[in-house]
Amino acid sequence: MRKIRVAMFSLACILLLAGSSFALSIYVDAAPNVYGSSDYPAWQTAAYTAAADGTFINMSNGINSCNVGTTDFEIQDEVVYSFSDLGKRLTWVYWIPGETTASLGSGRFQISLTNIWDGDTLDFYNYYYGSTWLTPTKWVDYDTNNDGTTDGVIGTAGMAWWGASGVNTPEALAADISDWGSVSETWIFTANLDGNLTSVTNNRAAAPVPEPSTLLLMGIGLLGLVGYNRKRSKKG
């Protein structure tokens, strides 16, 4: 099946006050599909609040509970589609305290995205947009306590593969997820604030392939269950 790449980003950035130190936090989670999911607004509100007060837990909404608190993810955390719950996007959340959006129009804040798929490296933004570094076009001033004063800038950047493209069936989606999940993958998301780089690396391990001996044991076990069920049915 074809792998369709779907990227979206909207960043919140702000002016760094004279004499203050650089401050930039980046978090990651599996977010509901921003394009159509009714669950996305609530996720965004909670993510912004947690990022601003420092309580954000990475991958807290990922499909695998073992990834909570890490930057690891599963293939289901980055596949969207046009039916059911519309899938999830791997989404990075930025928080820059003490800033406003007014001063970053000259390119002081930029982002880059690198994908490593089964050992092959792709400069994602350069490939799709013609530049390794992109300056965001949407900024959000964020008021953490609703007192009318901007406390910083916050925003997101997301990435997803489009599953079951052109087919739109659960069977095609399952085939894509199985295919894509069979290889390892890494995303490296980097933010550049006034020349200071901050990166987050996210890893996904390839799904293990059962060894022949394991498959044989599984087969023997299944045959045993079939025989047991047949005996039970005869006794009943």
For 20-36, give one letter per residue: b (16+ CB within 10 A) or e.
eeeebbbbbbbbbbbee
Query: 3-state DSSP call for residue 178?
Result: helix
Name which of 79-88, 105-114, 126-135 the model is least confident about: 105-114
Residue found under tokens 């309580």: 55
Beta-carbon neighbour count of residue 6 at 10 Å? 16
For 39-68, how does the pLDDT look when each residue is reduced to its tens digit (9 = 90+)? 999 999 999 999 999 999 999 999 999 999
In DSSP terms, 122 is beta-bridged to: 115
Q: Which residues are CB-neighbours of 37 under 8 A, at least 6 positions away? A: 85, 86
Q: Is the pLDDT of residue 11 over 80?
A: no
Taking the whole predicted model, whether its pTM rises above 0.85 is answered as no
Nearest CA-CA partner of 185 in 43, 58, 83, 77: 77
Q: Which pLDDT score, from 0 to 100, does residue 101 have?
A: 78
Which band of pLDDT confidence, cut at 50, 70 and 90, is reported for residue 5? Answer: low
Could you tell me if 61 and 29 are in contact, meaning their C-beta atoms sit under 8 angstroms apart? yes
Could you tell me if 133 and 111 are in contact, meaning their C-beta atoms sit under 8 angstroms apart? yes
d(CA 130, CA 58): 30
Q: Is the pLDDT of residue 1 over 80?
A: no
**Higher pLDDT residue, 235 or 164?**
164
The amino acid sitting at 20 is S
For 156-210, how does the pLDDT look when each residue is reduced to its tens digit (9 = 90+)? 999 999 999 999 999 999 999 999 999 999 999 999 999 999 999 999 999 876 5
